[in-house]
Amino acid sequence: MTDTTFYEASFEEPVLRRDIAATCRLFGLYRLAHIDDGRITVRMPGGVLAKPDDVAFGDMRASDAVFVADGAECDPEGRVDADTLAAHRAILAARPEIMVVFEVTGGAAAAVACGPEGLLPISQFSLQFYNRIGTEELAGPGDNLAAGKRAADALGQHPALMRKGRGMLVVGRTIPEVFVLMFYLVRSCQVQVPAVTGGAELVLPSHEVAEYTAQQYERDPTPGGKREWPALLRLLDRTNPGYTN
């Protein structure tokens, strides 16, 4: 049983592995990602920890996380996509204050990313990203390093990035923080897709209201994910035993 009396950010490898596995299991549980339509990369001394592409989100265990050393294009067995790894590493290099990059490339996230409107401020979920999400246009052929730099430049100082033709990406200081950000970003997309395709005229808030709401999220003194993570780990202990192995 996981000790979830309280949650404090830890960057020890066993905790990072557990939290990577928990994030994947939760996205599988909520049916927000499947096998390889989502990837997570976590900064570590000497390299990164990453979810392998050959493990379904709902089956991920702590021991499945793959360590890729600095300077290696990918892991020796090729279980981590080299293009995605290059982009995530470039973002980590450009943003030293963040520790985690999380990307979802399927479902509603991909649908919104390929549309012309971008993410619309039409729900409480999406207002926290108002004017706080970068846009990366679909890139042509090029090496992984150049593609990674484009993604990092497009993200800038935002917490989220819409990658045209791919999906959504978020960054954060801890794994729980990126889980919560991505959860609500995907929920925003799930609200937007039927709202737009339904054909009704959408009611959008004023710039002042949207900006005020986004600033309310930013002013919250509690680190992202700190409130939610203990409860989410307890949920996994009940429904997904074995994820910590």
Q: What is the mean pLDDT of the chain?
A: 89
In percent, the amount of the chain with pLDDT more than 70 equals: 92
**Which pLDDT score, from 0 to 100, does residue 142 have?**
59
**Which pLDDT score, from 0 to 100, does residue 11 have?**
79
| Cα atoms in the 13 Å half-sphere on the side-chain side of 206 | 3
**Which pLDDT score, from 0 to 100, does residue 144 have?**
59
This prediction's pTM: 0.91
Long-range contacts of 24-28 (CB under 8 A, 24+ apart): 24/51, 24/55, 24/57, 24/58, 24/60, 25/57, 25/58, 25/60, 25/236, 25/240, 25/243, 26/179, 26/183, 26/232, 26/235, 26/236, 27/57, 27/104, 27/182, 28/56, 28/57, 28/58, 28/59, 28/60
Of residues 223 and 159, more confidently modeled: 159
Q: Which stretch of 9-13, 125-129, 142-146, 200-204 has the lowest confidence by average pLDDT? A: 142-146
54-104 pLDDT, tens per residue?
998 889 999 999 999 998 988 889 999 888 899 899 999 999 999 999 999
